[in-house]
Amino acid sequence: MKRKVVFVVAAVSALLLTSCSQINSAAKVGKTEITNNQVQSTINSILKERSKFDTQNQNLPTKADLTLSAVRFHVISAIFDALAKGAQLKITDGVTTKKREEILAQLGSADNLPQALVKASIAQKDFDRYVRTIVIIEKMGQILAAAGDKSTDGSGIQKLVIAAAKREKVEINPRYGTWNYTTGTIDPVSSTAPVK
pLDDT digits (tens, 9 = 90+) for 69-101: 999 999 999 999 999 999 999 999 999 999 999
- Which pLDDT band, with edges at 50, 70 and 90, does 24 fall under? confident
Give the model's pLDDT for residue 114. 97
Task: List, in order, residues 6 or more apart from 134 with CB less than 8 Å away.
Answer: 99, 103
The pTM of this model reads 0.84
Give the model's pLDDT for residue 189. 87
pLDDT at 68 over 90: yes
According to DSSP, the β-strands at 177-180 and 185-188 are antiparallel
CA distances from 140 to 13, 35, 49, 82, 130 (A): 43, 27, 31, 12, 15
Range with the largest mean pLDDT of 5-9, 11-15, 18-22, 152-156: 152-156
C-alpha–C-alpha distance, residues 143 and 83, integer Å: 12
- How confident is the model over 112-138, as pLDDT tens digits? 999 999 999 999 999 999 999 999 999
pLDDT at 168 over 50: yes
Other CB atoms within 10 Å distance of the CB of residue 59: 6
Alpha carbon dihedral 80, 84, 87, 91, in 10-degree steps, equals 150
The half-sphere exposure of 65 on its side-chain side, counting CA atoms within 13 A, is: 6
Task: List, in order, residues 6 or more apart from 9 with CB less than 8 Å away.
Answer: none
CA distances from 6 to 10, 20, 113 (A): 6, 21, 57
Contact 5, 15 (CB under 8 A): no
C-alpha–C-alpha distance, residues 30 and 133, integer Å: 17
- Which pLDDT band, with edges at 50, 70 and 90, does 192 fall under? very low
- Which pLDDT band, with edges at 50, 70 and 90, does 46 fall under? very high
Q: Where are the alpha helices (DSSP H) in the chain?
A: 2-24, 36-50, 63-86, 93-107, 113-120, 127-146, 155-168
The half-sphere exposure of 43 on its side-chain side, counting CA atoms within 13 A, is: 18
3-state secondary structure of 159: helix
pLDDT at 104 over 50: yes
Among 8-22, 36-50, 60-74, 140-154, the least confident range: 8-22
